Amino acid sequence: MFITFEGVEGSGKSTQIARLQARLEAAGRAVTVTRQPGGCELGLTLRAILLSTKTTNLDSRAELFLYLADRAQHVAEIIRPAQQRGHIVICDRFADSTVAYQGYGRGLDVGLLNTLNDVAVAGAWPQCTLLLDLEPEQGLRRTLARALANPHGADEGRFEAEHLEFHRRVRQGYLALATLHPRRFAVIDASRDVDQVAQDVWQAVAERLAG
């Protein structure tokens, strides 16, 4: 099974992914956890370019193709082989991020993004997408607190620096995707405490594993 996590900045994906991984492994499942961008060698280089605040004047279409290049390589190098080994794959962001951020956020044509995502994904669409839904204000407060607590962390704030309206459009994009794909998506209220969110994540995954 291929599971993806999506959500605005600061929605708690990393924490929830670690919790889900632990629970699946405790149940005897082999799990591969990965992320986009940055789940493979090429992706690490692209991540540094895409997220650095030092990257200025990146054209929206150039940004799009860097995310797609990361995705194509990541599917070939990490996701497919892990699936072939019988692993459950959990990916922190995937193709839906491109529709939400480059489509709804930047304003690129969503129909075109769907076509390009199909090329990059090459059939490896997730069976289950957990959307950790959160008001962007709340998420951005969390990422700011994290950055202040870790001032020497990686320079990855290019999207956090976008205006609030951008992040609101991203959230609306995700909700629109969830409405379009109700069987694949589970929308989870991520404003609650970590345990409650983890419980909903587990329930959504368990239902899909059973089905």
CA distance 128 to 27: 18
Least gap, CB of 44 to ligand TMP (angstroms): 12
Residue 186 structure tokens: 């589970």
- Identify which range of 26-34, 89-97, 121-129, 180-188 contacts ligand TMP by CB under 6 A: 89-97
Q: Does 101 bind ligand TMP (CB under 6 A)?
A: yes
The angle formed by the CA atoms of residues 15, 19 and 23, to the nearest 5 degrees, is: 170
Q: Which is nearest to 110 in space by CA: 118, 119, 100, 120?
A: 100
CA–CA dist 130, 113 (Å, integer):
20
Subset of 57-76 contacting ligand TMP (CB under 6 A): 67
Paired tokens of 175? 């909700």
1-60: contacts with ligand TMP (CB under 6 A): 9, 35-37, 51
In the chain, which ranges are continuous DSSP H helix? Answer: 13-26, 41-51, 60-74, 80-84, 95-97, 110-121, 136-149, 164-180, 194-210
Taking the least distance from each CB to ligand TMP, the nearer of 29 and 77 is 77
Contact 160, 146 (CB under 8 A): no
What binding mask, one character per residue, do residues 117-156 give for ligand TMP by CB under 6 A, x or -? ----------------------------------------
Q: Is 159 in the site for ligand TMP (CB under 6 A)?
A: yes
Contact pick of 75, 97, 169, 178 for ligand TMP (by CB under 6 A): 97
CB of 32 to ligand TMP, least distance (A): 17
Instruction: Enumerate binding residues for ligand TMP (CB under 6 A).
Output: 9, 35-37, 51, 67, 92-93, 97-98, 101-102, 159
